[in-house]
Structure 1
Amino acid sequence: MDHHNLNEDERDLARMVREFAEEVVAPRAYEADRSKTLPLDVVAQMGELGLFGLPFPEDHGGQGGDYFALCLAIEGLARVDQSIAITLEAGVSLGAMPVHRFGTEEQKAQLLPDLLAGRALAAFGLTEPEAGSDAGATRTTARLDGGEWVINGTKQFITNSGTDITRFVTVTAVTGGSEGRREISTIIVPSGTPGFTVEPAYDKVGWHASDTHPLTFSDARVPEANLLGERGRGFANFLHILDEGRIAIAALATGAAEGCLEAAVDYSRSRVVFGETLASRQGIQFTIARMQQRVHGARLAWHHAARLRDAGLPFKQEAAIAKLTSSDAAMDNARDATQIFGGNGFMNEYPVARHYRDSKILEIGEGTSEVQLLVIARSLGIA
């Protein structure tokens, strides 16, 4: 980790998370991946360290930090385990942040303390079978009936939606309007609500220890007061949350790319082939040098976007560039590291194998690489 442009508090945080990742997360990563189980005791320890509360004010139990601090923590965790890193990222960016940003004071007081302490998780239900990148095509509906929202529809690929400590899911739903101009709002649906079913977990390529489910709503009823934010502003509010989330995913991808780099450096120094270490071969040296180049560029990109966000400046284009740059870096570094490891790189007990499987989703989730290109092209006025 390059600390030259971090202040003292940020350096201390980065060191703390790195130690926690090495001592607590890494030893559990293989078994968690193999058993496809999110270790909730690790999540609780992350809460005790204050990681879930990093970018929130202290009056609701937060640490009073900023988004940059959160991203530092996510990067540090992703070096050793992307599933744990995405649990933190989604728990904050998609679980707690919408409540903090758009909730009423009553909603914040009721929901945030447990979320920021890591005692509870929350999820955000946006994606649907017919509404992925085209999130505006949402088909889930919510209508008012006797002071309650009646929700019907399905969601898919929803992170942190089915754990034993999942408290609620915030869902986007059509609450009115016409086909030409539909009104989309966000509504809080507590876990255990009758008519709200968390379907069996997915069998995924990677992120095996991350909790991901499809959700079904069949006349699920919640109080009218569970509306989150202004009615009809659900989609616009979500887009702002998504821009921030792209910075956090960029930090996660940077951590993954760095984990692959460090593993490749260590392995190339110790592995002897034909009487020489791999590191003595110029082809390997050049491959690893490229890996370092990618990590450096990815880190600069997310740092820049996060600093802009925290300064209250526009950051949409920079977030897209960071997400695109870092997800490319993670995939490329995972492929190169796996090749350097040879047959061992194909074995799941080695972290590079898990990064190889885990990193593909970084080019898809929180906006595909193609969506990032579209955002950048629009910012240039050519799309």
Structure 2
Amino acid sequence: MDFLSFRADLDAAVTRFARDRLAPGIGVHIEDHSFPTRLVAEFGDLGLFGTAYDPAFGGAGLGVRGAALVTEALARVEPSFAAIYICHSAPASLLDRYASAELKEEWLRPANEGRFIGSFGVTEPHGGSDIANIRTRAIEDGDDFVLTGAKVFSTNAGTPPHRFTTVVAVTDPDKGGKGLSTFVVPVGTAGFSFGRRKSKIGWRVADSVELFLDEVRVPKANLIGRRGDGLKQVLTVLSVGRILVAAIGLGLARKALDLARDHGRERKLFGASILEHQGLAFPLADIATEIHAVELMIANAARLADDGIPFRTESSMTKLFASQLALKAATQSIQVHGGYGVFDEHAVAGLLGEAKVLEIVEGTSEMQRMVIARELLR
């Protein structure tokens, strides 16, 4: 499916959902940090969860470029709803790129069609960004693997539409990072359970919980791709995820700029709009310029990913720059709002926490600098 041929229709569909359904319906969920089950179902009914993926399994085939467009449009209304989308995209990308046709038919097709969503089980309590140091074990036993371990920060897990998690585990301990493999673990499997949800400063409507695997038995057919390819798979999926995190940052920065501009035009100081004063106008001009730069960076990184060209460094650069911009834009927009900006009743107040989360997820800013620096020193 040609991307350019469907971009206008995709933009229209996502914008219409964001304007007509998400904008008026998300407020109550933000206030009580609750998962927006009905809105997720409506979004799924539009087939938008499958934007990026293989049409042979119910997707639209628009790749990372299409997913980035969807992400940005959602984030411009509510960044934490966009987080639900991109955190489902991680397990979906893993299946789309590496799984057998049987696994795709069982899990990717219904996910693309909006019948349920998935989550990603990677980060562990002791390890953080150190993927190669994963301790969750998958022991071969007859026709099954038996998984034991724990994961943290698994977004979407334990919510009403959640039906499966993709779990990264050690299958060959003697091979270090090359001994990792990935598995589909269905919700309801004996020994598979979730911790309680906790409120966060950002991604307020996107539940993030712990996963517990106590001798969870899954068939060998649930192995995604080849045994031992887990590290390579996860690094690729995380690189895609960083592009989508950048797209959240872009949407958030645009929202912050819009709010600052609308408020600043109405607010008077010494007989003139406050935006006529360079101290406030010039920082917004810088933000507008950086928004344009991030848009181009996302387009380039997504193109590389879709064309099968190495893109890990570009995705790290894009995520680093976009998350910094999001925090800068949120801070400056609050500054333009003055005292009003710190009250929850104003939309701008919640953007600071949402922006800060982007500097942490899918690898911290420090981790992105490490990736970029290593490439410079090669």
TM-score, normalization by structure 2: 0.95
1:319 maps to 315
Residues 88-128 of structure 1: per-residue CA shift (max 9 Å, x gap): 11112x12111111111111111112100222011110000
1:192 is the counterpart of 2:188: yes
In structure 2, C-alpha distance between the alignment counterparts of 1:27 and 1:348, rounded to whole Å:
17
1:3 maps to none
In structure 2, C-alpha distance between the alignment counterparts of 1:181 and 1:320, rounded to whole Å:
21
2:44 maps to 47
In structure 2, C-alpha distance between the alignment counterparts of 1:310 and 1:106, rounded to whole Å:
23
Structure 2 vs 1, CA of residues 221 and 301 (structure 1 numbering), >3 Å: closer, same or farther? same
SS in 2 for 1:17: helix
Count of aligned pairs: 376
Task: State which drifts further: 363-372 or 348-357.
Answer: 348-357
Q: How well do the aligned residues superpose, as a CA RMSD in angstroms?
A: 1.7
What is the Cα deviation at residue 308 of structure 1?
A: 1.8
What is the Cα deviation at residue 314 of structure 1?
A: 2.0
What is the Cα deviation at residue 182 of structure 1?
A: 6.0
In structure 2, C-alpha distance between the alignment counterparts of 1:182 and 1:244, rounded to whole Å:
21
Q: Which amino acid aligns with 1:41?
A: R
1:60 is the counterpart of 2:61: no
1:374 is the counterpart of 2:374: no
Quick check: 2:132–2:177 contact (8 Å CA) kept in 1? no
What is the Cα deviation at residue 8 of structure 1?
A: 5.8
The one of 59, 70, 75 equivalent to 1:73 is 70
The one of 214, 239, 245 equivalent to 2:235 is 239
1:117 is the counterpart of 2:124: no
Task: State which drifts further: 264-273 or 274-283.
Answer: 274-283
Q: Which amino acid aligns with 2:44?
A: G
1:1-383 superposed matches below 5 A: 7=4, 9-92=6-89, 94-178=90-174, 183-381=179-377
What is the Cα deviation at residue 79 of structure 1?
A: 0.8
In structure 2, C-alpha distance between the alignment counterparts of 1:11 and 1:353, rounded to whole Å:
32
What is the Cα deviation at residue 147 of structure 1?
A: 2.3
SS in 2 for 1:349: coil
SS in 2 for 1:79: helix
Q: Which amino acid aligns with 2:56?
A: D
Structure 2 vs 1, CA of residues 67 and 256 (structure 1 numbering), >3 Å: closer, same or farther? same
Quick check: 1:30–1:349 contact (8 Å CA) kept in 2? no
Quick check: 1:140–1:173 contact (8 Å CA) kept in 2? yes
Residues 311-348 of structure 1: per-residue CA shift (max 9 Å, x gap): 22221211111111100110000011111112221122
Task: State which drifts further: 247-256 or 38-47.
Answer: 38-47
What is the Cα deviation at residue 226 of structure 1?
A: 1.4
Quick check: 2:133–2:177 contact (8 Å CA) kept in 1? no
What is the Cα deviation at residue 20 of structure 1?
A: 2.1
In structure 2, C-alpha distance between the alignment counterparts of 1:144 and 1:367, rounded to whole Å:
30
SS in 2 for 1:155: strand
SS in 1 for 2:145: strand
SS in 1 for 2:309: coil
What is the Cα deviation at residue 10 of structure 1?
A: 1.9
What is the Cα deviation at residue 299 of structure 1?
A: 1.1
Q: Percent identity?
A: 38
In structure 1, C-alpha distance between the alignment counterparts of 2:304 and 2:146, rounded to whole Å:
40
Structure 1, unaligned runs of 5 or more: 1-5
Residues 134-167 of structure 1: per-residue CA shift (max 9 Å, x gap): 1111011111223222211110000111111111
Structure 2 vs 1, CA of residues 300 and 34 (structure 1 numbering), >3 Å: closer, same or farther? same
In structure 1, C-alpha distance between the alignment counterparts of 2:31 and 2:88, rounded to whole Å:
23
What is the Cα deviation at residue 16 of structure 1?
A: 3.3
